Chains A and B, each alone.
Chain A
Amino acid sequence: MKIIDSTLKPQFASIFDVEAIRAEFPILKLQVENKPLVYLDNAASSQMPQPVIDRLVRYQTSQHANINRGVHYLSETATAEYEDSRRKLQRFINAGEDREVIFTSGTTDSINLVMHGYGRKFIGVGDEIILTTLEHHSNIVPWQMLAEEKGAKIRVVPINDAGELLIDEYEGLFNERTKFVGVLHVSNALGTINPIKQMIAFAHARGVPVLIDGAQAAPHMRVDVQDLDCDFYTFSGHKMCGPTGIGILYGKAELLERMQPFKGGGDMIMSVTFEKTTYNSIPHKFEAGTPPIAAAIGLGAAVDYLSAIGMDAIAAYELELLNYATEQMSHMPGVRIIGTAPMKTAVVSFEVKGVHPHDIGTLLNQEGVAVRTGHHCVQPVMLRLKVPATTRASFAFYNTMAEVDTFIAGIRTVQKFFT
């Protein structure tokens, strides 16, 4: 993974043609409450550009049939396109082989697959699983279910007040019972970019496999799973300009092969009799039933779209948006940014003194500004930082500096309204 540092020249924004990009997103032309939509809820779900919409239409109007079974033209076409999309995703994360890329319904599904396929087979009574305070509920609850079932134990890496993982504490948690590590690449609530390469190397030196929840990283930076050397990497299509209902589990082939299937059904089998079923090879072993074919092909088009812009260019531009918003907000009386790690993606969680996040969210909507309010599915983070809830603005490469201004003006309006 290449990390963009903040020494990048600020004039980069002027060469990044954001207006040309915005023209490709039909939804960004929407008016909300008679104001131009300012969509700052990208960490929850991103919007879809016309080329991806067009790809879905083309599939549905001229290529659709079920895959992996028919010998007719449409079935062969759909199968080829589906597998072609898998290879696009393979290249996007630089996986060694396409069979290491499994289509799932999203990050949650991917993590549950690993919990069932790997966890239930290889984690037992007294074993320990290391997670972090920053985890999204989707990388906590499956492991709690496993721990309860197996009598295993969950150990949690703490964070500091800025929202950074305490790496010394992480390393101190390892012992001979440590069997698995799950950590998110980027915090959805705070934007913190975790030093996962270093954390993976430490775990591997002790023979412990690592799952990376990349839901908030894959849309915003270059991800290279071979360079990271992670054992599993998960992400969702709908947070990266793709459709909902599709996501990816990357896993090292030798691990995937040793795992038990998660869901049973058609496509995941080699042969079935009532006496004995032989499972298919990877990735099909983990793709039971008819997959979301259109969504998988749409996600392929989405990563084509992102790659054409360039993930490094996207990361650099989004960092400028972050720096611009952070700079303004840090001078606003009564506004406190939650999550101040030096390495962040373009996420700003904040509190406004005396105003509840839900009231902020409703009033910003009045200005056409869409933000997320609440606990962001990270109640342990909220508890640790002693905030019941926050308001979160999360940016994408199609947001503009002018939209940051509208957002900041909206916060001022909220403050005035409540004084």
Chain B
Amino acid sequence: MNSKSLYQEVILDHNKKPRNYGALDHASHYAVGHNPLCGDHLDIALNLEGEHIASIAFQGESCAICKASASMMTTVVKGKTRADAETLIKEFRDMATGTLNLDAEHHLGRLTVFAGVRDLPTRVKCAILPWHTLHAALNSVTTTSTEAEDDPMHAAIGDA
């Protein structure tokens, strides 16, 4: 895979001008996600009104892939129900790890710009971290990690 093709215009744009970036006052749900392998972290705050995500914001320190993934994620899940968000989280993870059949029916839409990350094993976690953190926030887990036991991407990749 040509890695430049991963860094498509839309990803570069979201990296440069991240949407929904910053803090959120009076968030009902909140989580911090860490990728201990590279030191990246981001936090996600959201307000659930009933079952709907009324507002959502993120901030943190991360690479372009992670930041663009977070930015696009917030624009896509805003206004969706918790259940719809969980579906997207699962589909996004499956896409990033190469287990999703993109030709079959799915709900990812333009998020498929991240499909190429499945060929860059060292960068999969960068793309997944925001989704993992959203999952934690929705389930009232306040800190999570790409190395957490329940992470489908959990794998010992040394960083020595």
List residues of chain A with CB within 8 A of the CB of B15.
418
* Closest A residue by C-beta to B38: A374
- How distant is the Cα of A241 from the Cα of B66 in the complex, in angstroms? 36
Closest CB in chain A relative to B64 CB, distance in Å: 5
Q: Which of A33, A137, A355, A359 has the most CB of B within 10 A?
A: A359
- How distant is the Cα of A366 from the Cα of B5 in the complex, in angstroms? 10
A-B contact count (CB 8 A): 58
Secondary structure at the B interface, as helix, strand, loop or mixed, is: mixed
| CB interface residues, B 41-91, toward A, < 8 Å | 61-65
Q: Is A356 an interface residue (CB 8 A)?
A: yes
Q: Is A274 an interface residue (CB 8 A)?
A: no
Closest CB in chain A relative to B103 CB, distance in Å: 27
Contacts known (A363-B3, A375-B159); A388 close to B63, Cβ less than 8 A:
no
Contacts known (A362-B123, A366-B2); A377 close to B160, Cβ less than 8 A:
yes
Check A388–B39 contact: CB distance below 8 A: yes
Check A359–B65 contact: CB distance below 8 A: yes
Check A382–B39 contact: CB distance below 8 A: yes
Contacts known (A358-B65, A375-B38); A33 close to B160, Cβ less than 8 A:
no
Q: Is B4 an interface residue (CB 8 A)?
A: yes
Which of A363, A366, A374, A417 is in CB contact (< 8 Å) with B39?
A: A374
List residues of chain B with CB within 8 A of the CB of A356.
40, 62-64
Closest CB in chain A relative to B148 CB, distance in Å: 19
Closest CB in chain B relative to A355 CB, distance in Å: 8
- Contact code string B104-144 (vs A, CB < 8 Å = 1, else 0): 00000000000000001001001000000000000000000
Check B159–A366 contact: CB distance below 8 A: no
- How distant is the Cα of A366 from the Cα of B3 in the complex, in angstroms? 7
Closest CB in chain A relative to B89 CB, distance in Å: 22
* Closest B residue by C-beta to A138: B160
Contacts known (A389-B38, A417-B7); A359 close to B63, Cβ less than 8 A:
yes
Q: Is B100 an interface residue (CB 8 A)?
A: no
Closest CB in chain B relative to A192 CB, distance in Å: 19
Closest CB in chain A relative to B157 CB, distance in Å: 11
List residues of chain B with CB within 8 A of the CB of A362.
3, 6-7, 120, 123
Closest CB in chain A relative to B121 CB, distance in Å: 12
Check A366–B4 contact: CB distance below 8 A: yes
Closest CB in chain B relative to A85 CB, distance in Å: 25
List residues of chain A with CB within 8 A of the CB of B16.
418
- Contact code string B143-160 (vs A, CB < 8 Å = 1, else 0): 000000000000000011
Can you name 12 extra interface pairs (CB under 8 A) apart from A359-B7, A363-B7?
A44-B160, A137-B160, A356-B62, A358-B38, A362-B120, A363-B3, A374-B37, A375-B38, A379-B39, A388-B40, A417-B7, A418-B16
Closest 8 pairs between A and B when the two form their complex, measured CB to CB: A356-B63, A358-B63, A359-B64, A362-B3, A388-B39, A359-B63, A377-B160, A366-B3
Q: Which residues of B contact A (CB under 8 A)?
A: 2-4, 6-7, 12, 15-16, 37-40, 61-65, 120, 123, 126, 159-160
